[in-house]
């Protein structure tokens, strides 16, 4: 029995390891897959922004978008469904715009388009009834190189992908070639330094299945540290839907606000408390902006946002 148990257990460990690395690989390939569909124009210039980000405004100009413009044989249900309808808004440089709305209303799609996982307004799109453009600092993002665009944008996603590597590698990923001192400074600012230092091998501790296991909040802090290291002029925060305990949530929000200081920020908010100070709040439903304004203006309007706010207050 014991003899049988040991190899089986060993196989289980190997299986878990392979599965974990496949998960990472899968995620990488999904990203690469997307990238192949988006091609830079021949001789595309780099996105030009001032070093201090003072011109890094973001503008969605009448964007209408569908993921699958042509229905495929296998899945006619999704084909041609318009996900965003004539969306226009501007984030002035250094300001924050927050997007709220029910699941499936198109919030994350805005973020994906800004990071150019999909193009809008190409000739092919226009032929299929889609339209619009997305501008950063007045430059259409489909006309500049993807590398320069992605250099200018930092994302703190809902679920941070951590690599099966050391903590240091996972943070330094935000800035290839970063020194240990820079990594530690970013971790300090994201308030994860203490946690990392308490692990036996500190920053050399492996992350993942057989190493340091991180909670949702800790993973988000790693993502914040990555973004701090990268120091881009534009930020996208996709707030976690999974509930953190409220002390942790408040702390993470405070850190996010810190990172967002003077950066052009798009926040996809699931908790309305995050959006109170936004320059503008967009309330989305089924791909339309149904209300927009500041927190105070939207409360005074006593419409959908005010209802959502009242609901969330009573739930807290």
Binding site for ligand ATP (CB under 6 A): 67-68, 78, 83, 101, 103-109
How far apart are CB 10 and ligand ATP at their closest, in Å?
Answer: 39
* CB 315 to ligand ATP: min, Å: 17
Q: Which is nearer to ligand ATP, 192 or 269 (CB)?
A: 269
**CA–CA distances in Å: residue 259 to residues 125, 227, 244:** 35, 8, 19
User: In whole angstroms, how close is the CB of 104 to ligand ATP at the nearest point?
Assistant: 4
Q: Which is nearer to ligand ATP, 47 or 110 (CB)?
A: 110
281, 167, 282, 285: which is closest to 229 by C-alpha?
A: 167
Q: What Cα–Cα distance (Å) separates residue 144 from each residue in 49, 51, 187?
A: 12, 17, 32
Distance of CA 301 to the CA centre of its chain: 30
Least distance in angstroms from the C-beta of 103 to ligand ATP:
3
DSSP 114: H
Structure tokens at 158: 């809902």
- Nearest to ligand ATP of 109, 130 (CB atom): 109
Give counts: helices (H), strands (E), the chain.
11, 10
Cβ 56 to ligand ATP, closest distance in Å?
23
Determine the Cα–Cα distance for residues 69 and 282; give it in Å rounded to an integer. Answer: 25
Q: Closer to ligand ATP at the Cβ: 47 or 267? A: 267
- What gap in Å lies between CA 237 and CA 227, rounded to an integer? 10
Q: Smaller CB distance to ligand ATP: residue 175 or 288? A: 288
Query: At closest approach, how far in Å is the CB of 2 from ligand ATP?
Result: 48
Q: Which of 199, 136, 146 is nearest to 39 (CA)?
A: 146
Nearer to ligand ATP, 33 or 316 (CB): 33
């Amino acid at each position: 029995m014991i003899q049988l148990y040991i190899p089986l257990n060993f196989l289980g460990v190997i299986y878990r390891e392979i599965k974990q690395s496949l998960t990472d690989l899968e995620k990488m390939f999904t990203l690469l897959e997307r990238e192949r569909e988006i091609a830079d124009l021949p001789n595309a210039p780099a996105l030009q922004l001032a070093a201090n980000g003072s011109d890094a405004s973001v503008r969605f100009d009448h964007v209408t978008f569908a993921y699958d413009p042509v229905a495929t044989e296998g899945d006619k249900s999704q084909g041609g469904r318009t996900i965003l309808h004539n969306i226009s808004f501007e984030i002035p440089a250094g300001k924050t715009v927050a997007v709220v709305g029910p699941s499936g209303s198109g919030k994350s799609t805005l973020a994906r388009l800004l990071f150019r996982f999909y193009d809008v307004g190409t000739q092919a799109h226009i032929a299929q009834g889609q339209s619009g453009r997305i501008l950063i600092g007045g430059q259409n993002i489909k006309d500049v190189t993807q590398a320069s665009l992605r250099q200018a944008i930092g994302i703190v996603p809902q679920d941070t992908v951590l690599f099966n590597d050391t903590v240091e590698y996972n943070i330094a990923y935000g800035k290839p070639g970063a020194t240990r001192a820079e990594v530690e400074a970013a971790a300090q600012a994201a308030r994860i330094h203490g946690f990392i230092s308490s692990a036996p091998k500190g920053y050399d501790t492996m992350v993942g299945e057989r190493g340091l296991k991180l909670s949702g909040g800790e993973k988000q802090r790693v993502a914040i540290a990555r973004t701090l290291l990268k120091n881009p002029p534009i930020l996208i925060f996709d707030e976690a839907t999974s509930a953190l305990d409220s002390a942790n949530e408040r702390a993470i929000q405070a850190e996010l606000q810190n990172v967002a200081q003077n950066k052009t920020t798009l926040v996809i908010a699931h908790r309305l408390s995050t959006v109170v100070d936004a320059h503008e709040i967009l309330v989305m439903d089924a791909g339309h902006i149904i209300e927009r304004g500041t927190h105070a203006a939207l409360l005074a309007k006593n419409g959908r946002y005010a209802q959502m706010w009242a609901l969330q207050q009573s739930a807290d």
